[in-house]
Amino acid sequence: MDAFTTHTGVGVPLRRSNVDTDQIIPAVYLKRVTRTGFEDGLFAAWRGDENFILNQEPFKAGSVLVAGPDFGTGSSREHAVWALMDYGFRVVVSSRFADIFRGNSGKQGLVAAQCSQSDVELLWKLLESEPGTPVTVDLTDKTVRAKDLVAPFEIDDYTRWRLLEGLDDIALTLRHEPEISAFEGNRQTWLPTTDPLPAV
Amino acid sequence: MSRTLAEKVWEAHVVRHGSGAEPDLLYIDLHLLHEVTSPQAFDGLRLANRKLRRPDLTIATEDHNVPTVDIDKPIADLVSRTQVETLRRNCAEFGLRLHPMGDFEQGIVHVVGPQLGLTQPGMTVVCGDSHTSTHGAFGALAFGIGTSEVEHVMATQTLPLRPFKTMAINVNGALGEGVTAKDIILAVIAKIGTGGGQGYVLEYRGSAIEALSMEARMTVCNMSIEAGARAGMIAPDDTTFDYISGRPHAPSGADWDAAVEYWKTLRTDDDATFDAEVTIDAAELTPFVTWGTNPGQGLPLSATIPDPEKIVDENERVAAEKALTYMGLEPGTPLRDIRVDTVFLGSCTNGRIEDLRAAADVIKGKRVASGVRMLVVPGSMRVRKQAEDEGLDKVFLDAGAEWRQAGCSMCLGMNPDQLAPGERSASTSNRNFEGRQGKGGRTHLVSPLVAAATAVRGTLSAPADLEN
């Protein structure tokens, strides 16, 4: 995972709440077994409408998505994060994220920046009145900045640390392998295994 | 110190406590796999030259992509076929048990785990699928994970997690005639909203929950995620133990006694406190249906389509306007007047034997309305077999419904079972998102009883409407 400290890019105002993962990427795009190239599936249904924000200049080249509350609800598909990142997004700003989506973002290096809804509204107004305004997201001081607007955002400290350092979660966990083995030695013997059952 | 059920299960699985901002490391007792969210995780293992730590705590099934007709033939959709074949190759390479299409134990991953007896109280269960919350019905801590986490569990059999907050959902009283577990959970989601459970584990409690069968409890816990909660739980009791007893992977003999003794401790202590509580009166519930494009946009079947102009909150108003445009509905229309094209009975929410029995009971001796197609898709091959042994397949076929093979099917339309653009369904599944059941498709979430009655009348209906 690439480290993330600060990012500046075109902000995209998405005035929708409850943007669920079926909207971010419909299930039909989930049949692939590869890990890249999901940008064509991003908001696939909405992109068929020429008035959709990502079909307009300068938002086509957006990298900071500013969305309504309850972003990323629904399915656990990490493809939603892959699609956003493959398209070019590095940050999503919302006043509330679904838990699984937020977790998936943290694993991939997409910053899920939780701002107040009033700051989201201010960002929407600014980005709509002055399209193309650069938005800077600074993970070191946890702010979103655009022109005179400085909006603090929340992100949990551990995810922030991992993103700043660009650390791989599995490698971090494997440092504790002896503790995992010790735990396994103490598990109840009656807990089930998935070993095949003897034929009846 | 007094603790909630969720806290007890959490603490029993802490491999190491994190310090400061660092999360706890939690041991995972059961990892369920399917073809959609696993291929990139297997690739990750290979790239890093890592082993899959516990094949003996891992099981895979094919469910999302599989067709529900002609399963003796290769999958026609080449992309789907590749994904299913990739799972088969990966399971062979890493030595994992897989129940492929056509196998007697194949089915939707959340139907298969419980029916094999692999899901037991007090366990931690994960799967790259948000409806893993289903398994919480047994008093397990069960939740959906993303593909990075799937890879993490494969490599370490653990997950780094920060503790959840806890929310009690108290449902007291007795359900009325024709009111089901599905109506309970749709009412809960309408009450707390699609984000109301974010950051929480829900614990469903109260006399109405205790009175539910195991399968009905699974329906309730299954949709916890639609309220934003990663997990929902119900304390195990005799209903739970009776369900597990004798299943293929259930403990037996002295192990059974030891297990039950432990399972009986898995209850929220009397003086424990939840971070939040919600109370619902079961007696006030009636059949519930959704009218919009998220599962929180639901109302009693007797209601009319709401008028967005009367919604005070701006975000909710805009969401309602967009939903009604997408759904092609006008404010003030009685829900009972809404005509459907398709009825879907199935999914990890309502594809179990009791669901099929309930619907068959309503539709027996009647006909699916002309112009309506009804798909009946059992949650697993074992459910299908049991239904056929009971003659339920004949009931559905005689009524003019289609009797299919097992899988996720039209719940998410990854296989050929999809709605056409503009088509409207009454569906016993869990999500009414835009395009969920097919691009441009319009979904109303309902219980199996409402699904069956709707199939007969052609408009959203409860069984009681058939008597008039």
pLDDT tens-digit readout, B298-340: 999 999 999 999 999 888 899 999 999 999 999 999 999 999 9
Interatomic CA distance for residues B453 and B451, integer angstroms: 6
8 Å CB contact of A197 and B248: yes
Query: Any chain A CB within 8 A of the CB of B244?
Result: no
Interatomic CA distance for residues A50 and B391, integer angstroms: 52
Is the pLDDT at A199 greater than 90? The verdict is: no
Ranges of H-type helices in B48-177: 78-94, 109-115, 147-156
Q: How large is the average pLDDT for residues A99-121?
A: 97
8 Å CB contact of A157 and B21: yes
Per-residue pLDDT of B358-374, as tens digits, reads 999 999 999 999 999 99
pTM to 2 decimal places: 0.96
Q: How large is the average pLDDT for residues B105-133?
A: 98
Q: Percent of chain B scored above 90 by pLDDT?
A: 98
Crossing angle (nearest 10°) for helices B39-47 and B78-94: 50
pLDDT at B315: 85
8 Å CB contact of B160 and A173: yes
Q: Which of B411, B339, B403 is nearest to B374 (CA)?
A: B403
pLDDT averaged over chain A?
96
Residues of A in contact with B315 (CB under 8 A): 17, 68-69
pLDDT at B367: 98
Q: Both tokens of residue B96?
A: 């994992």
Per-residue pLDDT of B153-184, as tens digits, reads 999 999 999 999 999 999 999 999 999 999 99
pLDDT at B393: 98
Is the pLDDT at B196 greater than 70? The verdict is: yes
Amino acid at B212: L
Contact map slice: A 141-170 vs B, CB within 8 A: 156-158, 161, 169-170
Residue of B nearest to A169 (CA): B152
Work out how many CB contacts closer than 8 A connect A with B: 209
**Residue B255 to residues B9, B138, B179, B310, Cα–Cα distance (Å):** 19, 18, 38, 59
Q: Which of A151, A125, A122, A154 is nearest to A136 (CA)?
A: A151
Helix (H) or strand (E) holding B25: strand B24-27
Distance of CA B270 to the CA centre of its chain: 29
Q: Is the peptide bond before B416 cis (omega within 30 degrees of 0)?
A: no
pLDDT at B285: 98
pLDDT at A34: 94
pLDDT at A168: 85
pLDDT at B314: 87
Backbone phi, then psi, for B236, in 5-degree steps?
A: -70, 145
Backbone phi, then psi, for B278, in 5-degree steps?
A: -130, 140
According to DSSP, residue B130 is labeled G
Q: How large is the average pLDDT for residues B389-394?
A: 98
Interatomic CA distance for residues A79 and A110, integer angstroms: 12
Provide the pLDDT confidence category of residue B65 given band limits of 50, 70 and 90: very high
Residues 6 or more apart in contact with residue A35 via CB below 8 angstroms: A82, B40, B43
Query: Any chain B CB within 8 A of the CB of A125?
Result: no
- The residue to which tokens 């088509």 are assigned: B423
Q: Both tokens of residue A106?
A: 């943290």
- The residue to which tokens 């999360």 are assigned: B23
Q: Which of B337, B341, B335, B255 is nearest to B297 (CA)?
A: B335
Per-residue pLDDT of B122-148, as tens digits, reads 999 999 999 999 999 999 999 999 999
Is the pLDDT at B468 greater than 70? The verdict is: no
pLDDT at B35: 97
Per-residue pLDDT of A13-46, as tens digits, reads 999 999 999 999 999 999 999 999 999 999 999 9
Residue of B nearest to A1 (CA): B148
Interatomic CA distance for residues B175 and B188, integer angstroms: 14
Query: Any chain A CB within 8 A of the CB of B158?
Result: yes
| DSSP-based helix, strand, coil % in chain B, nearest 5 | 40, 20, 45
Is the pLDDT at A170 greater than 80? The verdict is: yes
Starting at the earlier edge strand, list the strands of the sheet with A91-94.
A111-114, A91-94, A64-67, A6-14, A134-138, A143-146, A149-152
Is the pLDDT at B27 greater than 70? The verdict is: yes
pLDDT at A1: 79
Residue of A nearest to B318 (CA): A16
pLDDT at A200: 58
Interatomic CA distance for residues B335 and B303, integer angstroms: 6
8 Å CB contact of A17 and B18: no
Interatomic CA distance for residues B454 and B301, integer angstroms: 11
Q: How large is the average pLDDT for residues B406-414?
A: 97
Interatomic CA distance for residues B185 and B128, integer angstroms: 22
Residues of A in contact with B83 (CB under 8 A): 31-33
Q: How large is the average pLDDT for residues B277-302?
A: 98
CB atoms within 10 A of CB B254: 9
**What is the rounded end-to-end Cα distance, in angstroms, of chain A?**
48
